[in-house]
Amino acid sequence: GQQLNQSPQSMFIQEGEDVSMNCTSSSIFNTWLWYKQDPGEGPVLLIALYKAGELTSNGRLTAQFGITRKDSFLNISASIPSDVGIYFCAGQGPAGANNLFFGTGTRLTVIP
Protein backbone atom coordinates (compact mmCIF):
# COMPACT_ATOMS: atom_id res chain seq x y z
CA GLY A 1 0.00 0.00 0.00
CA GLN A 2 1.00 3.58 -0.46
CA GLN A 3 2.58 5.61 2.31
CA LEU A 4 2.82 9.32 2.21
CA ASN A 5 6.08 11.21 2.50
CA GLN A 6 5.83 13.24 5.70
CA SER A 7 8.48 15.67 6.91
CA PRO A 8 10.23 16.40 9.05
CA GLN A 9 10.49 13.09 10.91
CA SER A 10 11.07 14.87 14.20
CA MET A 11 11.25 18.40 15.55
CA PHE A 12 12.58 19.93 18.74
CA ILE A 13 11.29 23.44 19.36
CA GLN A 14 11.09 26.00 22.14
CA GLU A 15 7.75 26.70 23.74
CA GLY A 16 6.12 29.61 21.95
CA GLU A 17 7.64 28.88 18.55
CA ASP A 18 5.59 28.11 15.46
CA VAL A 19 5.78 24.68 13.82
CA SER A 20 5.25 23.57 10.25
CA MET A 21 5.10 20.05 8.82
CA ASN A 22 3.98 18.71 5.47
CA CYS A 23 2.96 15.65 3.52
CA THR A 24 3.40 14.83 -0.13
CA SER A 25 2.05 12.08 -2.29
CA SER A 26 2.64 10.81 -5.80
CA SER A 27 -1.13 10.34 -6.16
CA ILE A 28 -4.00 12.79 -6.11
CA PHE A 29 -6.12 12.72 -3.00
CA ASN A 30 -9.72 13.81 -2.44
CA THR A 31 -9.34 14.25 1.29
CA TRP A 32 -6.48 15.13 3.62
CA LEU A 33 -6.68 14.52 7.35
CA TRP A 34 -4.32 15.46 10.16
CA TYR A 35 -4.17 13.43 13.39
CA LYS A 36 -2.26 13.73 16.65
CA GLN A 37 -1.24 10.67 18.63
CA ASP A 38 -0.13 10.68 22.26
CA PRO A 39 2.05 7.76 23.46
CA GLY A 40 0.05 4.58 23.88
CA GLU A 41 -3.17 6.15 22.63
CA GLY A 42 -5.13 6.17 19.40
CA PRO A 43 -4.79 9.05 16.93
CA VAL A 44 -7.17 11.94 17.44
CA LEU A 45 -8.48 13.85 14.44
CA LEU A 46 -7.33 17.48 14.36
CA ILE A 47 -8.39 18.83 10.98
CA ALA A 48 -10.12 17.44 7.89
CA LEU A 49 -9.71 19.00 4.43
CA TYR A 50 -12.01 18.16 1.53
CA LYS A 51 -11.24 20.63 -1.27
CA ALA A 52 -8.09 21.61 -3.13
CA GLY A 53 -6.84 24.97 -1.85
CA GLU A 54 -8.90 24.73 1.32
CA LEU A 55 -7.37 26.39 4.37
CA THR A 56 -8.87 25.36 7.71
CA SER A 57 -8.06 26.37 11.26
CA ASN A 58 -8.73 24.70 14.59
CA GLY A 59 -7.52 26.98 17.38
CA ARG A 60 -3.75 27.35 17.00
CA LEU A 61 -3.69 24.76 14.21
CA THR A 62 -4.00 25.59 10.53
CA ALA A 63 -3.91 23.10 7.68
CA GLN A 64 -4.09 23.48 3.92
CA PHE A 65 -5.07 21.15 1.10
CA GLY A 66 -2.55 21.73 -1.70
CA ILE A 67 -3.73 23.02 -5.06
CA THR A 68 -2.18 20.05 -6.85
CA ARG A 69 -4.11 17.72 -4.47
CA LYS A 70 -0.82 15.92 -3.84
CA ASP A 71 0.24 17.70 -0.70
CA SER A 72 -0.90 19.24 2.56
CA PHE A 73 0.71 21.11 5.41
CA LEU A 74 -0.06 21.64 9.08
CA ASN A 75 1.03 24.67 11.07
CA ILE A 76 0.94 25.03 14.84
CA SER A 77 1.34 28.54 16.18
CA ALA A 78 2.71 29.52 19.59
CA SER A 79 3.50 25.95 20.64
CA ILE A 80 2.83 24.80 24.20
CA PRO A 81 4.10 21.72 26.08
CA SER A 82 0.89 19.75 25.50
CA ASP A 83 1.51 19.93 21.74
CA VAL A 84 4.07 17.16 22.24
CA GLY A 85 3.17 14.01 20.33
CA ILE A 86 3.27 12.42 16.91
CA TYR A 87 1.39 14.11 14.09
CA PHE A 88 0.17 12.01 11.17
CA CYS A 89 -1.20 13.08 7.85
CA ALA A 90 -3.61 10.81 5.99
CA GLY A 91 -5.03 11.00 2.51
CA GLN A 92 -7.86 9.33 0.71
CA GLY A 93 -7.73 8.76 -3.02
CA PRO A 94 -10.53 8.61 -5.55
CA ALA A 95 -10.75 4.81 -5.52
CA GLY A 96 -13.30 4.88 -2.74
CA ALA A 97 -13.63 2.17 -0.11
CA ASN A 98 -12.87 4.76 2.55
CA ASN A 99 -9.23 3.65 2.60
CA LEU A 100 -6.76 6.08 4.05
CA PHE A 101 -3.03 6.19 3.39
CA PHE A 102 -0.96 7.43 6.31
CA GLY A 103 2.25 9.37 6.57
CA THR A 104 5.08 8.05 8.73
CA GLY A 105 4.52 10.77 11.31
CA THR A 106 6.30 13.83 12.69
CA ARG A 107 7.41 13.54 16.32
CA LEU A 108 7.17 16.93 17.99
CA THR A 109 9.02 17.79 21.19
CA VAL A 110 8.37 21.15 22.85
CA ILE A 111 11.02 22.37 25.24
CA PRO A 112 9.56 24.54 28.05
Partner 1 sequence: DGGITQSPKYLFRKEGQNVTLSCEQNLNHDAMYWYRQDPGQGLRLIYYSQIVNDFQKGDIAEGYSVSREKKESFPLTVTSAQKNPTAFYLCASTAGPGSNTQYFGPGTRLTVL
Question: Closer to partner 1 at the Cβ: 39 or 112?
Answer: 39
Asked whether 106 and 87 are in contact (CB, 8 A), the reply is yes
Sites of contact with partner 1 (CB under 8 A): 1, 3-4, 6, 30-31, 33, 35, 40-45, 48, 88, 90, 92, 96-100, 102-105
Q: Which lies closer to partner 1 via its Cβ, residue 3 or residue 27?
A: 3
Tell me how far, at minimum, the Cβ of 33 lies from partner 1, in Å. Answer: 6
Cis peptide before 81 (omega within 30 of 0): no
- Calpha distance 61→75 (Å, rounded): 6
CA dihedral for 52, 93, 48, 8, sign (positive or negative): negative
Shortest reach from residue 24's CB to partner 1, in Å: 14
